[in-house]
């Protein structure tokens, strides 16, 4: 796949997603008024954990809103920063709150 395919603004699907991102995800969110506190040990792998969790929710919960998927993926990443390492910090399902599933 060429890099042009990943960054092209010609696709209607890309434009729709980008518009949603600009309008909904970048504006202040009253829905995200809760705070998630954790003891950060290392941020290494947190982004990968977030993206992996987001992909999981997209695949297994396709009717869930993107906003809710991102909120839950953020919680998963919040658990991953509480341990050292990249893959070793990724939580197992049993280590996550049941309400994430």
Q: Are 89 and 83 in contact (CB under 8 A)?
A: yes
pLDDT in tens, 47-78: 899 999 999 999 999 999 999 999 999 889 88
Which of 8-12, 13-17, 73-77, 81-85 has the highest average model confidence (pLDDT)? 73-77
Domain for residue 63, yes or no?
yes
Domain for residue 55, yes or no?
yes
**Contacts (Cβ under 8 Å, ≥6 apart) of 74:** 36, 50
Domain for residue 26, yes or no?
no
Show the domain range for 55: 37-101
Question: What is the C-alpha separation between 54 and 64, in angstroms, rounded?
Answer: 11
Supply the angle between the helices 46-60 and 66-80 in degrees, to the nearest 10: 140
Domain for residue 60, yes or no?
yes
Overall pTM > 0.95: no
Domain for residue 7, yes or no?
no
Domain for residue 100, yes or no?
yes
Domain for residue 78, yes or no?
yes
Check if 15 is active-site.
no
* Given 14, 42, 44, 48, the catalytic residue: 48
Q: Into how many domains does the chain fold?
A: 1
């Amino acid at each position: 796949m060429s890099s042009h395919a990943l960054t092209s603004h010609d696709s209607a699907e890309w434009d729709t997603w980008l518009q949603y991102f600009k309008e909904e995800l970048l504006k202040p969110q009253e829905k995200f008024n809760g705070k998630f506190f954790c003891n950060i040990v290392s941020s290494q792998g947190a982004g990968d954990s977030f993206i992996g969790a987001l992909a999981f929710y997209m695949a297994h919960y396709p009717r869930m809103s993107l906003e809710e998927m991102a909120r839950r993926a953020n919680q998963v990443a919040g658990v991953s920063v509480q341990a050292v390492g990249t893959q070793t910090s990724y939580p197992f399902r049993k280590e996550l709150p049941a309400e994430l599933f």
